[in-house]
A and B are shown apart, each in its own frame.
Chain A
C-alpha cells in the first residue's frame, strides 16, 4: 500500500517536533555533564568550551551511586515482575470469569488510583512499623518494604490495563484450546499470553518505571543502605554546592542501562506482533 502525501507530511512534522522536544533537554544534560562546574553555572552555551570528563569520575565519590543503582534495580525489577505476574492472573480472572463482586473489585482498584499519595505515606509508615513490631519483618528501611509499596501503586493499574488487553482477545481462542483439552493455566500461558505480549510488556515497563522514579515514599522509607537512585540523585545538591554537572553525568550513567533495556524490549515488542497474529 502506498502512503499518501498528506500522511507523509504529517509524519515528518510530528516526528520532527517531538524529536526536538525530546532531544533538547537530553542534549543539555549531555553537554552539561562534560563542562566544569564553573561553566555550568555560567551562561548557557551550546558547545562546552572546556571539555572535561571529570564529572564522570567525581560522581562515584560524591554519592555512593553504585549501591543506589543496585538498590533501584532490585526494587524496580522485583516490583515490576511481581506486579506483572499477579496482574496476569488477576486480570485473566477478571476478563474470563464472571464472579460475584467483580464490579466491586474493579471499583476498588480504580479508587486506589485516586487517593493522593501524600496521605498514604504516614499511615503506610505506621503500618510497616506495626508489622515490624508484631511479626519482626523489617519493612521500613528495607528494600522489601519499598517493593510492597510500589506493588500497591502499580498493581491496580496493571490489572486494569491488562484485563483490557485480554478482553480484546477473542474468546474463541480459549474455547478452541479447551476443546483440545487444555487446562485454564495452559490456555493462559500457551494461547492468551503470546497474543497479549505487547500489553504485558507495556505493563512491565510501566511498573518498572514507576518504581524507578518514585521519590516521596523512597525518601522516607529508605535508609542509606537501601536508598534508591530517585532519591540518591538529590544528594548532589548539598549544603555547600549544587553539582549540576555531576547530577547530569550521574543521570546519564544510570539512564544508559535503562535505555538499552528499552531497546531490547522494543525488539521484543515487534516480535510480539508477529507472534500475536491469530493463526
Chain B
C-alpha cells in the first residue's frame, strides 16, 4: 500500500470518529429568532445555584406577562469580564447582560452596547424613574448612557457592637476617631485587630484609593486623562495603607486577603472590630455565624475637614447588546427588571439598595442600617470616574496598592515618595491602555 492509500484510510477513520464526537457533543442554541432572550447575570447570591433559584420565579413571571422566554446564564465573577470582553470583540454575545457599573464607561466606549437614547429610554419606562446619581454611572460622562442601574450597593463601616461597648467606645464619625478607636481595640498579642481589610484584592483597594482621594477633594482623572500623582490622591492612598503600616490596626496577614470574604469572616469571628464592606455583607456574616443584631453600620468617616464621601456608587447595571436580534424584547426585559415590583422582590435576596426613586428599601429589617446605607447611597457617594480608561485605572491602581500592602506586610516600608512612584507607574500603564 502506498502512502496515498494509507492517508486515505487514515482520513476516513478520523472523520468517522469526529462525526461520532460531534453527535455526542452537546450544543446550546444561539440567540437567533423567536422570542427567546439570552441573559448573562453576574453572581449575586450565595452561589450560582442560589442565583438561579432567586431569578427563576422572576423570569417565569416575565414570560407569563410577555410571552418572552429568557435563557439565563449566571456567570461567576472570575470569568465574567473575560466573557464580556470576548463577546464585545466578536460581536456575538447574549442579548442582555448585567455588568459591574464601574465597567460601564469602558464598555460604553467600545460601542458594543445599545445606547439608551430617548426612544429606547422611553421603552424601558423613562429616565425619571431612576435615582439620578445611579443613572449617571451608566456610561461615559456627557454621553448617552448604555447601561441602566439594576442593583444599588454602597460601602459602610461595620462595627462589632459588643467589642465597642466593652471598650466604652461609640462608633467613629471622623477618620481620626476611627483610627484611635481601632488602636484601642487592637491587641496584637491575642491576634485581635481594630480593623480588617481585603488588602490583597485589587478591586477593593482601588475603591479605597478612590474614596480617600474624593475625601481629599482630589480627582483621579483630569478630563479623560489619568492623574494619579496629585498630592490629594497620593496622601489619600498613604492614609489608607497607613492603617496597616503606621497605625498598625490591621493585621499584616490581611495583605494576603484576596477574595473579598476573608476580612468579613474574621469580623464575624470577633478577630477584628471593624470592617469596610458593602450593604450585601449580611449573608456572608451570617454564614460565618454572626447574627445581624451583633453589628452596626456607620458611614466610612472622612478625616476632619475632608469632604463627606464614604462610598463610590457601587452596583450592577443592565445593558443590551447592540447586535441583538430581539431589541424590543430586550428592552421589555430591561423595563421589567427595573420596575418597582421586581426591584422590591430582588432587593431582599440580593441586599440591593433601590435604584428607583421613592421605593422603600427591602434589603434589611434593621431600620438603622437601612437608613445608614440609603443615606450613604443617596448623599455620600460619588460615581467612579466615568471615562473609558476606568477599567485600566482599576487594574493598575488596584495592583499598585496590592503591591504596597505586600511590601508593608513583608517588613518593608512605603514612604510617600514610594506611593508617588508606584502611582506614576500605574498612570503610565493606564495611559498605554488608551
Closest chain-A Cβ to B1's Cβ sits at a distance in Å of 4
> Is A10's beta carbon under 8 Å from chain B?
no
Smallest beta-carbon distance A253→chain B, Å: 17
Q: Which of A121, A122, A185, A235 contacts B47 (CB 8 A)?
A: A235
Report the contact-size class of chain A (Cβ under 8 Å from the partner).
35 or more
Question: Do the beta carbons of A241 and B89 come within 8 Å of each other?
Answer: no
Q: Which residues of B contact A64 (CB under 8 A)?
A: 49
The reply to whether A82 and B283 form a contact with Cβ atoms under 8 Å apart is: no
Q: Given contacts A240-B261, A242-B261, is CB(A82)–CB(B27) below 8 Å?
A: no
By the criterion CB–CB under 8 Å, are B1 and A184 in contact? yes
Contact status A237-B21, CB under 8 Å: no
Known contacts A38-B289, A183-B1: does B18 contact A63 (CB below 8 Å)? no
Least CB distance from A85 to B in Å reads: 6
Against A, the Cβ 8 Å flags (1 = close, 0 = not) of B75-91 are 01111001100100111
Which A residues touch B79, using CB under 8 A?
Answer: 219-220, 231, 234
Given the known inter-chain contacts A85-B17, A129-B92, A242-B261, please indicate yes or no for A143 contacting B26, CB distance below 8 A.
yes
Task: Tell whether, in the assembled complex, residue B82 and residue A219 are in contact, meaning their CB atoms are under 8 Å apart.
Answer: yes
Among B14, B46, B91, the residue within 8 A (CB) of A241 is B46
List B contacts of A75 (CB < 8 A): 25
A219 partner residues in chain B, CB cutoff 8 A: 78-79, 82-83
Determine whether the beta carbon of B18 is less than 8 Å from that of A82.
Answer: yes
Q: Which of A218-259 contact B (CB under 8 A)?
A: 219-220, 223-226, 231, 234-243
CB-CB nearest in chain B for A62: B47
**Closest B residue to A182 using CB positions:** B1
The segment out of A18-26, A47-55, A108-116, A134-142 that lies at the interface is A134-142
Which B residues between 257 and 296 are near A, CB-CB below 8 angstroms?
259-262, 265, 269, 280, 283-284, 287-289
Query: Bound state CA distance, A185 and B24, in angstroms?
Result: 28
Q: Number of residues in B with C-beta < 8 Å to the partner?
A: 54
Distance in angstroms between the alpha carbons of A235 and B5 in the assembled complex = 49
Q: A138-B30, A183-B1, A223-B73 are in contact. Are A238 and B48 (CB under 8 A)?
A: yes
**A240 touching B25 by the CB < 8 A rule?**
no
| Binary contact track B384-404/A, C-beta < 8 Å → 1, others 0 | 000000000000000000000
With A38-B288, A240-B287 already in contact, 12 other A-B pairs whose C-beta atoms are closer than 8 Å: A62-B47, A62-B48, A74-B26, A122-B89, A129-B92, A132-B92, A138-B28, A147-B25, A184-B5, A234-B76, A240-B284, A243-B47
Q: Which residues of B contact A (CB under 8 A)?
A: 1, 3, 5-7, 9-10, 13-14, 17-18, 20-22, 24-30, 42-49, 73-74, 76-79, 82-83, 86, 89-92, 259-262, 265, 269, 280, 283-284, 287-289
11 contacts between A and B (CB under 8 A): A41-B288, A81-B17, A89-B7, A125-B86, A138-B29, A144-B25, A219-B83, A238-B43, A240-B47, A241-B261, A241-B288
Residue positions of A touching B, CB distance < 8 A: 37-38, 41-42, 61-64, 71, 74-75, 78, 81-82, 85-86, 89-90, 93, 97, 99, 121-122, 125-126, 129, 132, 138, 140-144, 147, 183-185, 219-220, 223-226, 231, 234-243
A-B pairs, top 4 by smallest CB distance, nearest first, are A89-B10, A143-B25, A144-B25, A142-B27
